[in-house]
């Protein structure tokens, strides 16, 4: 059990590759991103969704990146789904169902968590632009695509 838990903690050291590629100084870790999504879920989860389940999906969705790393659309992602699922089976076989649900977007909770994934990225892009002056418009554009009008309004309400 201890070794398993220590392996999970390695996610704290995996930097978000997109921020690194964009030249962000001291970018967040994948674990920080998952925490951000969880906080957004606590604040924004609709009453008709199961908040506990949403939080599980937020915390587990990127766990395979401990093994495969944080891949971006600029990387070769041809085997990403297979590699990440294999990693999940090794890291936490009892959580594979959550990973599959998120990847397959098979429930309202999974679709909501996907939107939180994008919202977190968009909000973090605003933070980095304001703090570091780095141009992250590509991230803001990417974040907006799958968002509901309410979540787009949250992004638009953030001052640059």
**Residue in the block written with tokens 């992250």:** 136
Q: Tens place of pLDDT for every residue, the chain, 160 residues?
A: 899 999 999 999 999 999 999 999 999 999 999 999 999 999 999 999 999 999 999 999 999 999 998 887 787 778 888 999 999 999 999 999 999 999 999 999 999 999 999 999 999 999 999 999 999 999 999 998 878 888 999 888 865 4
| Number of independent structural domains in the chain | 1
pTM, entire model: 0.93
Domain of residue 148, residue span? 2-156
pLDDT at residue 160 in the model: 47
**What's the CATH number where 18 sits?**
1.10.3210.10
CA distances from 73 to 3, 21, 45, 50, 77 (A): 31, 11, 28, 30, 7
Residue among 39, 20, 10, 58 nearest 123 (CA): 39
């Amino acid at each position: 059990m201890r070794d398993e838990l220590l392996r999970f903690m390695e996610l704290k050291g995996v930097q978000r590759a997109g921020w690194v590629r964009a030249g962000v100084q001291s970018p967040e870790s994948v674990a920080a991103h998952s925490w951000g999504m969880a906080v957004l879920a606590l604040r924004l989860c609709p009453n008709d969704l199961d908040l506990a389940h949403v939080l599980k999906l937020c915390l587990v969705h990127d766990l395979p990146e401990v093994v495969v790393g944080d891949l971006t659309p600029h990387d070769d992602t041809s085997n990403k789904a297979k590699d990440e699922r294999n990693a999940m089976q090794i890291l936490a076989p009892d959580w594979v169902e959550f990973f599959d649900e998120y990847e397959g977007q098979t429930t309202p909770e999974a679709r909501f968590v996907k939107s939180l994934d994008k919202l977190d990225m968009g909000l973090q892009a605003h933070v980095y632009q304001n703090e570091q002056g780095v141009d992250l418009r590509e991230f803001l554009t990417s974040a907006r695509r799958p968002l509901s009008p309410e979540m787009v309004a949250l992004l638009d309400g953030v001052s640059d």
